[in-house]
Structure 1
Amino acid sequence: MERQRLDKWLWHARVVRARSAAAALVESGHVRINGAREKSPGHAIKAGDVVTIALDRGVRVLKVVGFTERRGDAASVTGLYADLSVPRD
């Protein structure tokens, strides 16, 4: 798999608890792909893209490393992204 829908990837990466929540997050303008605001949950992302997500508790910057067909447990998401976020003190 070379590409995946943004909302599906956010859900698989366990950024949100439900795919509908991922779609709402994107539609509300809280997600950027490579620095550009994205408002389409169906936008296709590819490996190497940098996804910036503004959440209630802060900002997460994730580099897309891989994809999966199904949502797995919390330990399985480590292969989906590299966390580029700056640690908070």
Structure 2
Amino acid sequence: MTSPGAESLRLDKYLWFARLTKTRAAAQLLCAEGRMRLGGRLVDRAHLAVRVGDVLTFALHGRVRVIRILALPARRGPAAEAALCYVEIGDAVDGREPPT
């Protein structure tokens, strides 16, 4: 799954390879919007390097996702393979009002 010798990967490529976005262009736009955090720091560039263990926080499809990177994929593979590259952590907020 991880390419030999790869210690980091561009953020936009990671988002696309891990199937968090449908296209690499969508991943670049998500990064450029400035509403993503990498290890608590604001991201505004798609070329930032991510490493195993990094935590990403971003809003996508009406909910906030917090993920920890477990592996750096070498390619955009099947969904089952991509799901092994990260784990959801924390309580995700889906943008809906809490029940009263």
TM-score w.r.t. length of structure 2: 0.82
Q: CA deviation at 1:18?
A: 0.2
Q: Which runs of 5+ in 1 are unaligned?
A: none
Q: Deviations over 1:2-25 (max 9, x none)?
A: 100000000011111000100000
Q: Aligned with 1:41: secondary structure?
A: coil
CA contact (8 A) 1:9 1:67 kept: yes
Give me the identity figure in percent. 36
Amino acid at match of 2:38: I
Matches within 5 A, 1:20-31: 20-31=25-36
Partner SS for 1:14: coil
Say which of 52, 57, 62 aligns to 1:57. 62
Structure 1 Cα separation of the partners of residues 87 and 58 of structure 2:
14
TM-score, normalized by length of structure 1?
A: 0.91
Q: 1:68 aligns with which of 73, 77, 87?
A: 73
Question: For residues 55 and 12 of structure 2, what CA distance do their matches in structure 1 show?
Answer: 14
RMSD: 1.5
Count residues in correspondence.
Answer: 89
**After TM superposition, where is structure 1 displaced by more than 2 Å over at least 4 residues in a row?**
none
Q: Which has the higher Rg, Structure 1 or Structure 2?
A: 2
Matched AA of 1:66: A
**Structure 2: which 5+ runs fail to align?**
1-5
Structure 2 residue aligned with 1:81, among 80, 86, 89? 86
